[in-house]
Every structure is written in C-alpha cells, then in structure tokens.
Amino acid sequence: MPSRKKTSMFASAFCTCVSSFVVICVVLATPRWVSSEVRFSRTGSNVTISLTYGLFSGTCEQFVDAGLQVSKTTFQVAEALGSSSSSRSLNVATIVVLVLALLSSLLSSAFTCTNAVSNPYQTFLGPVGVYTWNCLCGILTLIAMILFPVNVEGSRMSEELAHGCSSSLQTHLGSKHSYGYSYWIMLLILVLNVASLIVIYFYDHARYSKKKEQERPIENAPKDVILF
C-alpha cells in the first residue's frame, strides 16, 4: 500500500487531471469560441453578418444598413464549409487535437488514480507516466489554441461561414473577431496540467531526498565498520 503522503499528493493530482478532462469536454461542447462581425456590400445596401460559433455549430444574424435585423439562423460548421476548404481542414485538425488532449487527460487521471491506491512496479506507470501524459495534454491544448485563431484570421473562416448565411454578398468590407469563453478556458487546462506536474514533482523530489538521506549514513561510516 502507498504511504499516506503519496496517496494525498496523487489524489490531489488526480483531482486536477479530472478537472482538466471536464474542461476539455466543455470546450468541445460549447459554441462560444468566437463572435465575428463580417461586413459586405450588396446591391443598394451594406450587410453585416454577425456570427457566433464553435467547432461544431453556431448561429448567424443578418443586419442591413441601419441595423435592421433580417434573420437569425443556426448552422453546422462542417456543412457550411466546403469539403475542399482549408478552413474545414484546420477545423477538423483542431477537433482531432482536442480529442487527443482529452484522451491524454483521461490517461493521466488513470495513472494518478493508480498511484494513489497502489505502488506500480513498472516505472512508466509511476510519476514518469504522469509527467508524459500531462505534458502531452498541455502541448496539444496549446496547439489547438494556435490552430483556431490561424483558421479564423488566416483562412478567413468567418467570411466563408457568412457566405453560407446569406446570398448575394459581394465585396468584403471588413471583419471584427472577439474570442469567447469556450476558447479562453483552454488556458485553465494548461494551468491544471501545470498544477498536476508541480504536485508530482514535489512528491518525486521529496522521495529522492529521503532516499539520499537513507544512503548517507553508509557513505559517512568509518571504513573499518564497513569492512566488518
């Protein structure tokens, strides 16, 4: 059975890993990744398309000239983007990266739970495994945080979605983007992963220091005693 100190520390790391798992689920499920206002010219008027969307679905509203609201509709991101679109490819890549981060977080939770209730013989099932899966989860989350803005700003994802919300749009006049809570709470995932790493590091460091202290009496013992 593990010591009480080890159980408490790995239990704390388990709580942070589970919290990370829950936050990733929230990130994937909620459609508040970005809000965009995309302005176009159309024959005889200017049109503003207001979009709020996530990785899977979103809503769009159409405003003509002096703020007259024409319609509000919901859409599926995958259907609104063309099959050969670079925006669709990057959106799929973001989803895949977050799913991998979700699996990494789940494995990290399993490893911390295992160490909280037992002493695994395999090295990789111990702190090394927790370090690995937490680091992987953090790196994948960071990649997702980079991919999505690149898609919105670089591949003009909002403009492409706006064309699916309204017909007869002509010249693009400008766009404004504001990232929502579904995007920013990914920072919380990074914080939780770092917290898990810190907890396990302190446990590992304390264990190493205790091992060195146990070896020190033998190192400092007189040679005749050692020979005896």
- pLDDT score of 228: 43
Q: Which whole number is the average pLDDT over 106-133?
A: 84
Tell me the pTM: 0.84
CATH number at residue 16: 1.20.140
> What are the residues whose beta carbons fall under 8 Å from the beta carbon of 33, sequence distance 6 or more?
53, 54, 55, 148, 179, 180, 182, 183
Instruction: Classify residue 227: in a domain, yes or no.
Output: no
- Report the Cα–Cα distance between both ends of the chain, in Å, rounded: 35
Q: Which residues contact 6 (CB under 8 A, 6 or more apart)?
A: 115, 116, 203
Cα(70)–Cα(166) distance, integer angstroms: 10
| Burial degree of 172 (CB within 10 A; 0-12, 13-18, 19+) | middle
Residue 67 lies in a domain: yes
Q: pLDDT: is 210 or 50 the higher one?
A: 50
| Predicted confidence (pLDDT) at residue 223 exceeds the cutoff of 70 | no
Beta bridge partners of 172: 40
Do the beta carbons of residue 134 and residue 197 sit within 8 Å? Answer: yes
Does residue 227 register a pLDDT over 50? no
pLDDT digits (tens, 9 = 90+) for 3-25: 777 788 888 889 999 999 999 99
Nearest CA to 105 among 195, 7, 203, 181?
A: 195
Check whether 106 has a pLDDT greater than 50.
yes
Collapsing DSSP to helix, strand or coil, 1 comes out as coil
To the nearest 10°, report the CA torsion of 108, 114, 120, 125: -10
Q: What 3-state DSSP class applies to 2?
A: coil
Instruction: State the residue range of the domain holding 85.
Output: 4-208
Provide mean pLDDT across the span 61-77.
Answer: 78
Listed in sequence order, the residues at least 6 apart from 32 whose beta carbon sits closer than 8 Å to its beta carbon are: 52, 54, 180, 181, 182, 183
pLDDT at residue 91, rounded to an integer = 94
d(CA 29, CA 202): 34
- Quick one: pLDDT band at residue 116, thresholds 50, 70, 90? confident
Lowest mean pLDDT among 37-46, 49-58, 95-104, 177-186: 37-46
29 — pLDDT class (breaks 50, 70, 90): very high
* Predicted pLDDT of residue 184: 95
| Assigned domain for 214 exists | no
Structural domain contains residue 218: no
CA distance 228 to 220: 15
Where do runs of H (alpha helix) occur along the chain? Answer: 4-29, 77-80, 86-117, 127-149, 157-165, 181-184, 186-220, 223-227
| Confidence bin at 162 (pLDDT 50/70/90) | confident
pLDDT at residue 97, as a whole number: 97
pLDDT value at 47 more than 60: yes
Average pLDDT over residues 38-56: 86
SS3 205: helix
- Residue 169 included in any domain: yes
Region 197-222: mean pLDDT is 65
Of the pLDDT bands very low, low, confident and very high (cuts 50, 70, 90), residue 209 is low
Q: Which of 33-37, 111-115, 163-167 has the lowest average pLDDT? A: 163-167
Mean pLDDT confidence for 112-140:
85
Number of domains in the chain: 1
The answer to whether residue 175 sits within a structural domain is yes
- Is position 57 within any domain? yes
**Do the domain assignments include residue 228?**
no
**SS3 of 68, please?**
strand
Residue 33, number of CB atoms within 10 A of its CB? 24
pLDDT beyond 80 at 65? no
For residue 219, pLDDT beyond 60? no
